[in-house]
Structure 1
Amino acid sequence: MLRITLEAARINAKLTQKETAEKLDDILNEKVTRQRVAYFEKKPEETPIKYADAFSQIYDISKDHIFFNSKST
């Protein structure tokens, strides 16, 4: 199964980190900063399930197709 990174999913959705944070605010009903989005893009393994579900909804892609594990070195 092909998976893409959170950053790639965001870019494919033509959104900035700030725009994504604003959409997360609405979906999760809590304050989300651009820095939080950047953190999850750098450390996807730290993404809580509720955020993974919200990212999937915002980017219109199944969370099964988003890579939420750490990158191998």
Structure 2
Amino acid sequence: MQKIDFPWHGNPDFQLQIGSNLPFRLASNVKNNGSIGINILDGSGSDARPYPLYGLLPDGNDGPKIVEMYDKIVKTLNPIGT
């Protein structure tokens, strides 16, 4: 983990790097219905594709795994109440 940011909505964004792969951002955003979405972004804020450039291995059902990775980082950093 290289950096943690807290955008206006209060959910943290993480800048990560896996080994010598390109760094990426694991970013949260608030959708119109109030739910939280999690995206993997490159340094410019665009979708980080293809994932293998960042040390990530896609399997075609990435949405739930991206959220799981985000939740695991949050719980690791804040173990109170987990």
TM-score where L is the length of structure 1: 0.30
Larger RCO, structure (CA 8 Å, separation 6 or more): 1
Q: Which has the higher strand share?
A: 2
TM-score where L is the length of structure 2: 0.28
Q: Which structure has the greater CA radius of gyration?
A: 2
